[in-house]
Amino acid sequence: MDTRLLLLSDFEEDLQHVRQTLRKFFLLTEYPITADNVPDLSGYPGAVVGIDLKKRDLLEQYRSYCEKAGCVEIPKVFLVDRGSRQDVVQAATLKARATVDRPADTRKLLDAVCNASDHFRALMRNGPNHCLEASQSGLECLHVITSAVQSGLPLPRAVFDRSAQHICNAIQHGGALEFLSAINGHHSYSYRHSMHVAGLTMAFATHLGFGDRDKTRMVLGALMHDVGKARIPLELLDKETPLTPEEQGIVRTHASLGYEILKSDGNWDPLTLKLVHEHHEYLNGTGYPRGLAGEAICDPVRMLTIVDVFSALVDKRSYKDPMSPRGAMQMLYSMSGCLDMDFVRAFEPLGLKIIEDLKSVDLAA
């Protein structure tokens, strides 16, 4: 279920209210049309356009941006000044499916977006959308982590508890495939990865018969597991070529950094701390940061490590193609000294099924 919505904006308009409204219902991504970098936006099912329609140079910029981004034909709703015939005509020239007066009324804006796109109309008919709730609250977590960690402020635990609960609900009600489809198209690897790992951890724990409370605790830890990466320079995390050994050393500090961030917060339970600190430890003692071995590594950590490695292998990065689910399972089996093979075997049918189904959904989309 693709809930992505584009917001095409300029810097002239105050769109704060529009953003807040749309984020409650869609996986909203905003692109300023004045930016030099133009991404490929052709896959989006719908867009809202909030630009000053009275400025000729902006209209030209808008046309050229849409051409380059491949989003000319995407169904679009334009924001127009109330009572401005000129804006309405201009929007029609730019192929608007609908217009909404500024300041945008929540109900009218949602109706316009849904009516403009068959895809969203079908989506809204399906009642409460747990996947959307989960994907939105996951995005909120990412924003909160980035801003809190960089400014040294404590992490608001309630935001993460709520998000973990939303992920559990989404998978309980709609299944892992629907949840993963909803987040799979997001451009941010950090977001995709933490949500992917949290979703697969929930599916794995359910598969093994864990109770609700334990599942929620594991999902919370999985959601937070790479929190320390907020302190790693972005140029290393987003590097388009393989890391040098020295750079790898820096990235590896994220497990200890994450642990320190949560420990100094004083607000997190021991399992979350363990999952964050130990998810790169291997049973034979060759992992990091402490080289723990054997019984020192508890079952939830062993499970998370498997899901984390698998998820990284099957996802795409700028420097590597996604590995096939079968290839990723072979890789897990090749790590027999490092990973718990009983858990790898238990995970196999789940990983193969979900990721293979997910690939066929993506190809069909």
**Residue 79 CB, nearest approach to Fe ion (Å):** 39
Shorter beta-carbon distance to Fe ion: residue 281 or 308: 308
The full DSSP string for 92-149 is: HHTT-SEEEEESPPHHHHHHHHHHH-HHHHHHHHT-S-HHHHHHHHHHHHHHHHHHHH
**Residue 300 CB, nearest approach to Fe ion (Å):** 15
Shorter beta-carbon distance to Fe ion: residue 172 or 253: 253
Residue closest to 277 by CA, chosen among 286, 285, 287, 267: 287
From the list 2, 87, 133, 226, which residue makes contact with Fe ion (rule: CB under 5 A)?
226
Size of the site for Fe ion (CB under 5 A): 2
**Residue 156 CB, nearest approach to Fe ion (Å):** 22
Residues 67 and 94 sit within 8 Å (Cβ to Cβ): no
Dihedral of alpha carbons 50, 53, 57, 62, sign = positive
Shorter beta-carbon distance to Fe ion: residue 90 or 194: 194
Where does this chain touch Fe ion (CB under 5 A) — which range of 6-14, 31-39, 122-130, 219-227? 219-227
**Residue 285 CB, nearest approach to Fe ion (Å):** 18
Q: Could you tell me which residues are beta bridge partners of residue 99?
A: 78
**Residue 146 CB, nearest approach to Fe ion (Å):** 16
**Residue 15 CB, nearest approach to Fe ion (Å):** 33
Shorter beta-carbon distance to Fe ion: residue 79 or 354: 354
- C-alpha 280/C-alpha 306 separation (Å) is 10
Contacts of 216 (CB under 8 A, 6+ apart): 164, 165, 168
Shorter beta-carbon distance to Fe ion: residue 148 or 301: 301
Shorter beta-carbon distance to Fe ion: residue 78 or 259: 259
Long-range contacts of residues 357-363, Cβ cutoff 8 Å, at least 24 apart: 357/177, 358/177, 358/180, 358/181, 358/184, 359/325, 361/177, 361/181, 362/181, 362/184
- C-alpha 85/C-alpha 88 separation (Å) is 5
Q: Could you tell me which residues are beta bridge partners of residue 98?
A: 77
Q: Does 2 contact Fe ion by CB under 5 A?
A: no
Residues 8 and 50 sit within 8 Å (Cβ to Cβ): yes
**Residue 269 CB, nearest approach to Fe ion (Å):** 19
Shorter beta-carbon distance to Fe ion: residue 190 or 324: 190
**Residue 113 CB, nearest approach to Fe ion (Å):** 34
Shorter beta-carbon distance to Fe ion: residue 38 or 251: 251
Where does this chain touch Fe ion (CB under 5 A) — which range of 108-116, 132-140, 218-226, 299-307? 218-226
Where does this chain touch Fe ion (CB under 5 A) — which range of 42-50, 155-163, 268-276, 307-315? 307-315
Shorter beta-carbon distance to Fe ion: residue 123 or 220: 220
Residue 76 DSSP symbol: E
The footprint of Fe ion on residues 259-298 (CB under 5 A) is: none
Dihedral of alpha carbons 199, 117, 11, 16, sign = negative
- C-alpha 21/C-alpha 14 separation (Å) is 13
**Residue 197 CB, nearest approach to Fe ion (Å):** 6
Residues 120 and 31 sit within 8 Å (Cβ to Cβ): no
The full DSSP string for 296-322 is: GS-HHHHHHHHHHHHHHHHS-BTTBPP
**Residue 40 CB, nearest approach to Fe ion (Å):** 26
From the list 2, 87, 281, 308, which residue makes contact with Fe ion (rule: CB under 5 A)?
308
Where does this chain touch Fe ion (CB under 5 A) — which range of 128-136, 212-220, 270-278, 302-310? 302-310
Distance of CA 111 to the CA centre of its chain: 26
Where does this chain touch Fe ion (CB under 5 A) — which range of 60-68, 96-104, 264-272, 303-311? 303-311
Shorter beta-carbon distance to Fe ion: residue 308 or 340: 308
Contacting residues toward Fe ion, per CB under 5 A: 226, 308
